[in-house]
Amino acid sequence: KQEVTQIPAALSVPEGENLVLNCSFTDSAIYNLQWFRQDPGKGLTSLLLIQSSQREQTSGRLNASLDKSSGRSTLYIAASQPGDSATYLCAVSPNYGQNFVFGPGTRLSVLP
Amino acid sequence: NAGVTQTPKFQVLKTGQSMTLQCAQDMNHNSMYWYRQDPGMGLRLIYYSASEGTTDKGEVPNGYNVSRLNKREFSLRLESAAPSQTSVYFCASDSDNSPYEQYFGPGTRLTVT
């Protein structure tokens, strides 16, 4: 059974810092990995999706990498801003591309 | 496009009551999902529907039923609500072609007393 973990559970940084969020999964047979952002009391917003054949994806200040063989992904946020404060979740889907399994999330606070 | 919409946003039920959570998407997606989110446990899949007329159980289906009414709509029914079903419920859909990116609704916050 696929299990996804995220470290750290919570992170507090001053504005302007670069930071890395980690995601690990137990079964490397994945189709893709997706990073989401969730603001308090809101739904999930997709940030980046990496297919299993890709190593990384970039969008603005965000960069996500994938090492399928070791079961790891990282989300790098450059020059963090208070508006980045949210919970970040990663999710993986199995080989047939459905039924995402989610990690518990990392709660990020960026202090002004 | 509205994306994925859910109703209601909030609901309080007494133990034993029934209710249906509604979900609709306007992206012409075949696949739709129901998840629940509980503190410290992440999102867990309740049921999914790969296409109109088909539904399958996910990780935590007990106590729930679903209906894929048509391609747009996927409803979740609680026949006899229990306090353990207090949670936030999310509906999602994904694109029918690779890379199967998932899109989420805003959620329904349900409390069962």
pLDDT digits (tens, 9 = 90+) for A26-69: 998 888 899 999 998 888 999 999 988 899 999 999 999 999 99
Query: Which pLDDT score, from 0 to 100, does residue A65 have?
Result: 97
- The DSSP output letter for A81 is -
Burial of B70 (0-12, 13-18, 19+ CB in 10 A): exposed
Cβ B94–A32 below 8 Å, yes or no? no
The answer on pLDDT for A97 being more than 70 is no
Mutate to test the interface with B, among A24, A88, A99 (most CBs of B within 10 A): A99
Gyration radius of chain A's alpha carbons:
13
Measure B21 CA to nearest chain A CA, in Å.
15
Give the per-residue pLDDT at A98: 62
Q: How far is B75 from chain A (nearest CA, A)?
A: 17
- Torsion over CA: A75, A83, B89, B7 (sign): negative
- Encode pLDDT of A99-111 as tens digits: 789 999 999 999 9
Whether chain B has a CB inside 8 Å of the CB on A8: the answer is no
pLDDT, one tens digit per residue, over B27-59 is 999 999 999 999 877 899 999 998 888 999 998
Cβ within 8 Å, pair A34-B98: no
Would the pLDDT of B97 be above 90? Answer: no
Rounded to whole angstroms, the Cα distance separating B90 from B95 reads 17
Place of tokens 């973990």: A5
Question: Got the DSSP string for chain B?
Answer: ---EEEE-SEEEE-TT--EEEEEEESS--SEEEEEEEETTTEEEEEEEESSTT--EE-S--TTEEEEE-SSSBEEEEESS--GGG-EEEEEEEE-SSTT--EEE---EEEEE-
Per-residue tokens: A9:
């559970």
User: What pLDDT shows up at residue A41?
Assistant: 84
**Pick from A56, A43, A53: which is nearest to A89 by CA?**
A43
Report the alpha-carbon distance of residue B76 to residue A46 in Å, rounded.
23
Q: Give Cβ neighbours of residue B92 (< 8 Å, ≥ 6 apart).
A: A44, B4, B32, B33, B35, B102, B103, B104, B105
* Number of other residues whose CB lies within 10 A of the CB of residue B99: 18
**Cβ-contact B65, B57 below 8 angstroms:** no
B98/A99 Cβ within 8 A: no
